[in-house]
């Protein structure tokens, strides 16, 4: 029974992550009318930011975890604004294929950097 409960919690956590990524894709497509392939990569950068910030903050308390979470969110927000300003904003009004190729390029850049 304990193993079933643990697998249920694991499934719910993974489903919540998938739902968060899908919600981000839907919001970006609904507002900007293009699919941002780098969205999940920015999500990954936030996960790594939290992973690398965790040893710097005492995580035994609620506030330590909250500080790490907020710092990871700020890093993701700054990265998203930078990508928007440098890559997507200059392409407003261009063809959909141009924006799609740029989105794939930004995704590959984030995947292969570091």
Q: What pLDDT is stored for residue 91 in this prediction?
A: 87
Average pLDDT over every residue of 64-87? 94
Which pTM does this prediction carry?
Answer: 0.79
The Cα 42–Cα 109 span in angstroms is 11
Q: What pLDDT is stored for residue 61 in this prediction?
A: 83
Average pLDDT over every residue of 65-92? 93
Q: How many CB atoms lie within 10 A of CB 114?
A: 6
| Position 27 pLDDT exceeds 80 | yes
Rg for the chain (alpha carbons), in Å?
A: 17
The per-residue pLDDT of the chain, averaged, comes to 90
Burial of 95: CB neighbours in 10 Å, binned 0-12, 13-18, 19+: exposed
């Amino acid at each position: 029974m304990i193993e079933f409960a643990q697998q249920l919690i694991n499934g719910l956590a993974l489903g919540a992550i998938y739902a968060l990524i899908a919600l981000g894709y839907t919001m970006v497509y609904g507002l900007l009318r293009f699919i941002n392939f780098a969205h999940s990569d920015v999500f990954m950068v936030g996960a790594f930011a939290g992973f690398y910030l965790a040893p710097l903050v005492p995580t035994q308390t609620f506030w330590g975890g909250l500080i790490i979470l907020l710092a990871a969110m700020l890093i993701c927000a700054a990265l998203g604004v930078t990508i928007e300003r440098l890559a997507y904003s200059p392409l407003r009004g261009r063809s959909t294929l141009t924006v799609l190729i740029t989105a794939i390029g930004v995704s590959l850049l984030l995947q292969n950097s570091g």
